[in-house]
Amino acid sequence: MMAALTGKHAFVTGGARGIGAATARALLDAGARVTIAGRDEAVLAATAAALSAYGDIRHHALDITDPDAVSAVLAAAGPVDILVNNAGQAESAPFVRTDAELWQRMLDVNLSGAFYCSRAVLPAMLAAGWGRIINVASTAGLTGYRYVAAYCAAKHGMVGMTRALALEVAAKGVTVNAVCPGFTETDIVREAVANIVAKTGRNEEQARAELAAGNPQQRLVQPEEVANAILWLCMPQSAAMNGQAVAVAGGEVM
């Protein structure tokens, strides 16, 4: 895959850490020019500096829940060939204690942000006759989990949006797919572990084992494994992949 994406510009939201940073590295290795975006300017700058040895990488501070900010940043970044909607957030609560603010926050961060970014980059992709949109959903977009109804609803919505848009652009050189990781070694999982420890009295090792138990491989997925799936979907040779929701979860969801 070396240099297969030379000349392409990739924009990765949530690009400072975890899956986003691993994806930026994979895209750089494939020859793409990469822009990473996220809320924390300092962390973005540090990640961009660390990855600059691998290729042309830039960064923009961005709150993807603000449609005006999305339009402004993507206009400044220039035409995008590959969009990776990776930014996301997970919060848990029993259904009856899921208030309107938590519900809306999960929809804004996990679904609306991907909509705003996709809408902003799509005209240039259609004009060029080539583009890749990869939505980083979750196995929570394919099945249900207790205590995360709002997160599951948002991620199911992301998968639905993926399928609908994929059909709209199927004959126009643009593909739209979702990658659905299981529990992955990221900040979201570290927060989940801390939450389990705080609420149940289990230690960190027991909490991590509880999250890994749902994976038939009995382990947490690594960010680089998710990035590899994203990279594959970006390849010119993957043009027949469209409207798919690819689980990267060791067989948890089939």
Q: Does 155 share its domain with 178? A: yes
Count of domains for the chain: 2
Residue 36 domain boundaries: 9-182+223-236
Are residues 186 and 16 in contact, defined by beta-carbon separation less than 8 angstroms?
A: no
pLDDT in tens, 131-168: 999 999 999 999 999 999 999 999 999 999 999 999 99
Do both 19 and 101 map to the same domain? yes
In a domain, 252, yes or no: no
Residue 1 has pLDDT above 70, yes or no: no
Inside any domain, residue 140: yes
Is the pLDDT at 2 greater than 80? The verdict is no
Q: What is the pLDDT of residue 122?
A: 98
- Reading across the β-sheet that carries 33-38, which strands appear in turn? 57-61, 33-38, 9-13, 82-85, 131-136, 174-181, 245-248
User: Is the same domain home to 164 and 64?
Assistant: yes
The percent of residues in the chain predicted with pLDDT above 70, rounded, is 100
Average pLDDT rounded to a whole number, residues 109-137: 98
Tell me what percent of the residues of the chain surpass a pLDDT of 90.
86
Strands 174-181 and 131-136 come out as: parallel
In a domain, 23, yes or no: yes
Assess if residue 61 is contained within a domain. Answer: yes
What would the two tokens of residue 172 be? 């126009």
Q: Which CATH number do you get for residue 169? A: 3.40.50.720
Q: List the structure tokens of 29.
A: 């290795």
103 and 170: one domain? yes
Residues serving a catalytic function are: 151
Q: Are residues 86 and 175 in the same domain?
A: yes
Question: Given pLDDT bands bounded at 50, 70 and 90, which one contains residue 208?
Answer: confident
Spell out where the chain has E strands: 9-13, 33-38, 57-61, 82-85, 131-136, 174-181, 245-248
Q: Token pair of 25, please? A: 């590295």
pLDDT at 183 over 80: yes
Is residue 211 included in any domain, yes or no?
Answer: yes
Is there a single domain that holds both residue 195 and residue 121? no
Both structure tokens of 214: 């749902």
Same domain, 123 and 215: no
Q: What angle do CA 114, 25, 56 make, to 5 degrees?
A: 95
Residues 33 and 119 placed together within one structural domain of the fold: yes
Same structural domain, 43 and 156: yes
229 pLDDT above the threshold of 90: yes
Residues 131 and 191 in one domain: no
Residues 113 and 63 in one domain: yes
- Are 72 and 194 in a shared domain? no
Q: What rounded mean pLDDT belongs to the chain?
A: 95
Residue 247 lies in a domain: no
- Name the pLDDT band for 195 (thresholds 50, 70, 90): confident
Rounded to two decimals, the pTM is 0.94
For residue 249, being part of any structural domain is answered with no
Is residue 1 in some structural domain?
no
pLDDT digits (tens, 9 = 90+) for 69-97: 999 999 999 999 999 999 999 999 999 99
